[in-house]
A and B are shown apart, each in its own frame.
Chain A
Amino acid sequence: MEIFGVPSALLGSQLLVGLINGSFYAILSLGLAIIFGLLNIINFTHGAQYMMGAFVAWIALNKLGINYWVALLFAPIVIGALGVLIERTMLRKLYKLDHLYGLLLTFGLALIFEGIFRDQYGISGQSYPVPELLQGGVNLGFMFLPIYRGWVVVAALTVCFATWFIIEKTKLGAYLRAGTENPQIVQALGINVPLLITFTYGFGVALAAFAGVLAAPIYQVSPLMGSNLIIVVFAVVVIGGMGSIMGSILTGIGLGLIEGLTRVFYPEASAVVVFVIMVIVLLVRPAGLFGRA
């Protein structure tokens, strides 16, 4: 069976890869959007925090015998707690300054974390086994689907939509949105805004770490796994416009799929297609697809 002269199995598997990458883009740009919304800081450490999430899972498995399922909860908590520490001791001092200092501080932190892991583990990656329950695959007729990859898409999207639900439909989310709009008034209403900010940063960081654990069995667990991904995610953020939570989820998945399609029809361009789209979007809609001007 062929579609546009391309074997359907090839098209299907590249679309699946695109969907998986898109899930990672979605979950990472969602984390960035949440942090940006309340802290007005672009969290440059996001890639390093994603990488550390994967490493915590790897270390937990190999040194402590903690399995994948526990790591899925354990790693985000550890890295999220580290995030809380960073917010309390460093980021907090920068809120009154130009937003650029937040970006520069988190960039410096990314260098520190990456350097430490590079010194400890080198740049060649470590492999993380697929958990027993999710090994093997199913034949869908037109393509072969490894179960773990299907799980990654489901898990990532579930977390994304749960986050969307919390922010858009619950009381905590309402405080968050109000805090984004006008922190002074929310503070005056008796809500502890600094605590809310700390919690938000910790949660955004935990999302990155969660993505890292999901990624561990698919990609090599390596100190550099986050630093190249994060630039693409920044492009995703620019394209989406970081205007809405749903916007970052949809943009992330959509761009992953487009990247997958490009890999089928014109592989040389697959590494730059997201940036090309960014250029086009900037020319047509400088505020991004979901952004407010």
Chain B
Amino acid sequence: MNNSNSMFARAMPILFGALFLIGLVAPFAVYPTFLMKILCFGLFACAFNLLLGFAGLLSFGHAAFLGSAGYVCGMLVRDLGVTPELGILGGTLAAGALGWVFGVLAIRRTGIYFAMITLALSQMVYFIVLQWKATGGEDGLQGVPRGHLFGVIDLSNNIAMYYLVFAIFCIGFFIIYRAINSPFGQILKAIRENEPRAVSLGYDVAKFKLLAFVLSASLAGMAGATKTLVFQLASLTDVHWHMSGEVVLMTLLGGLGTVLGPLVGAATIVSLQTELADTVGSWVTVIMGVIFVVCVLLFRRGIVGELQALIQRAGIR
């Protein structure tokens, strides 16, 4: 086990380097908007996985962070004429603040209750967004300009926008990677594995959980704010609880608690949805449901998790 783990550790920098290079040249081979969608949802799923995969906290309300950051960013950029980078920052901070409120309330309970509380809170956010005039109700926030990055670089160019999204993804991913591989990440894992023991070791468990929650919410918000700029709109689907379910599916399909799993899961789901949208109509939901059920029943390790297990078994032999 240890041997192959260190094997993974050695292979990781090479893998990341290769992926980074692919990310740099990808927009010349694949439609950039599609790639940007994958990166936004990938970051969203990675942020979610930080919470579920490493701290064992199943939040069923992460759409609230993705969505509200999207609305905040959209309103800042469109209605107040703020530059895009400040719009994204504003959305991220707003999601972080919302995450703090959710976290304070939800970490009082664990397990299934935790999931239900986050779900109910996010539905409250949904109703507020639906009824508040400034958010455009059913229509959402339309016609958000991409603007000029730092007042200089014109983001209406898809390639320029792609590199901004790619940079944001890399920053977010790096923060998560560092968090996981730090004493903080180790404490989170300890809490996940055995909470009473973590308490008896003297850790302020509630504080660490809250910190993880705020971090995850902020990064989910960063993804949402970026997504609003890419598509130039913020819509109700981003705040609806189905989105919270979708991010669980992405993470589960890719591999819970693996570093790259959520990105792989997001890419798979986004591709599937794009491919299927024209051909099968409302059966998309059914297919998503079937994938969910199959993942839970048959391969809980997800795509990346199964691959790792495969490599490990080969390594032992």
Residues of A at the B interface (CB closer than 8 Å) are 36, 42, 90, 93-94, 97, 99-101, 103-105, 107-116, 118-119, 231-232, 234-235, 237-238, 268, 271-272, 275-276, 278-279, 282-283, 286-287
Name the residue of chain A whose CB is nearest to the CB of B252.
Answer: A104
Name the residue of chain B whose CB is nearest to the CB of A122.
Answer: B282
Q: Known contacts being A119-B283, A282-B105, is A108 close to B289, with CB within 8 Å?
A: yes
Contact B112 A93 (CB under 8 A): no
Q: How far is the CA of A114 from the CA of B282 in the complex (A)?
A: 10
| Dominant secondary structure of chain A at its interface with chain B | helix
Q: How far is the CB of B209 from chain A (nearest CB, A)?
A: 14
Contact B105 A279 (CB under 8 A): yes
Residue B230, interface by CB 8 Å: no
Q: For A272, give its contact among B127, B245, B252, B293 (CB under 8 Å).
A: B127
Contact B296 A108 (CB under 8 A): yes
Contacts of B108 in A (CB 8 A): 282, 286
Q: Known contacts being A107-B292, A118-B285, A268-B131, is A231 close to B105, with CB within 8 Å?
A: no
Name the residue of chain A whose CB is nearest to the CB of B294.
Answer: A108
Contact A115 B284 (CB under 8 A): yes
Q: For A99, give its contact among B111, B248, B249 (CB under 8 Å).
A: B111
Contact B289 A111 (CB under 8 A): yes
Chain B residues 119 to 148 lying within 8 A of chain A, measured CB to CB, are 119-121, 123-124, 127-128, 131
Contact B285 A107 (CB under 8 A): no
Q: How far is the CA of A104 from the CA of B293 in the complex (A)?
A: 8
Q: Known contacts being A118-B285, A279-B105, is A104 close to B248, with CB within 8 Å?
A: yes
Contact B241 A231 (CB under 8 A): yes
Q: How far is the CB of B277 from chain A (nearest CB, A)?
A: 13
Contact A115 B285 (CB under 8 A): yes
**Interface size bucket, B side?**
35 or more
Q: How far is the CB of A248 from chain B (nearest CB, A)?
A: 13
Residue B116, interface by CB 8 Å: yes
Q: How far is the CA of A279 from the CA of B105 in the complex (A)?
A: 7
Q: How far is the CA of A196 from the CA of B71 in the complex (A)?
A: 49
Q: How far is the CA of A191 from the CA of B61 in the complex (A)?
A: 40
Q: Known contacts being A231-B119, A238-B116, is A100 close to B282, with CB within 8 Å?
A: no
Contacts of A108 in B (CB 8 A): 249, 288-293, 295-296
Residue B113, interface by CB 8 Å: yes
Q: Known contacts being A104-B248, A271-B131, is A276 close to B283, with CB within 8 Å?
A: no
Name the 5 nearest CB pairs between A and B, nearest first: A108-B292, A111-B289, A115-B285, A112-B289, A115-B286
Most A Cβ at <10 Å: residue of B117, B289, B296, B300: B296
Q: How far is the CA of A115 from the CA of B285 in the complex (A)?
A: 5
Contact A115 B248 (CB under 8 A): no
Contacts of B297 in A (CB 8 A): 90, 93-94, 105
Contacts of A272 in B (CB 8 A): 124, 127-128
27 inter-chain pairs at a CB distance below 8 angstroms, sorted by A residue, are A36-B112, A42-B116, A93-B297, A101-B300, A104-B292, A104-B296, A105-B293, A105-B297, A107-B245, A108-B249, A108-B288, A111-B245, A114-B285, A115-B284, A115-B286, A118-B282, A231-B120, A231-B123, A238-B109, A238-B117, A276-B124, A278-B117, A278-B121, A279-B105, A279-B121, A282-B109, A286-B109
Known: A108-B249, A116-B286, A276-B124. 20 other contacts (CB 8 A): A94-B296, A94-B297, A99-B112, A100-B58, A100-B115, A103-B58, A104-B248, A105-B292, A105-B297, A107-B245, A107-B292, A108-B289, A115-B283, A119-B281, A119-B282, A231-B241, A234-B120, A268-B131, A272-B124, A278-B117
Contact A238 B286 (CB under 8 A): no
Q: Known contacts being A107-B245, A108-B292, A112-B289, is A234 close to B124, with CB within 8 Å?
A: no
Contact A119 B131 (CB under 8 A): no
Contact A105 B283 (CB under 8 A): no
Q: How far is the CA of A110 from the CA of B242 in the complex (A)?
A: 11
Name the residue of chain A whose CB is nearest to the CB of B122.
Answer: A231
Q: Known contacts being A107-B292, A286-B108, is A235 close to B120, with CB within 8 Å?
A: yes
Contact A283 B105 (CB under 8 A): yes
Q: How far is the CB of B9 from chain A (nearest CB, A)?
A: 27
Q: How far is the CA of A99 from the CA of B115 in the complex (A)?
A: 11
Q: For B119, give its contact among A104, A116, A234, A286 (CB under 8 Å).
A: A234
Contacts of A90 in B (CB 8 A): 293, 297
Q: How far is the CB of B278 from chain A (nearest CB, A)?
A: 15
Q: Known contacts being A104-B252, A105-B296, A108-B292, is A275 close to B124, with CB within 8 Å?
A: yes
Q: Known contacts being A103-B58, A111-B288, A112-B293, is A238 close to B283, with CB within 8 Å?
A: no
Q: How far is the CA of A225 from the CA of B283 in the complex (A)?
A: 18
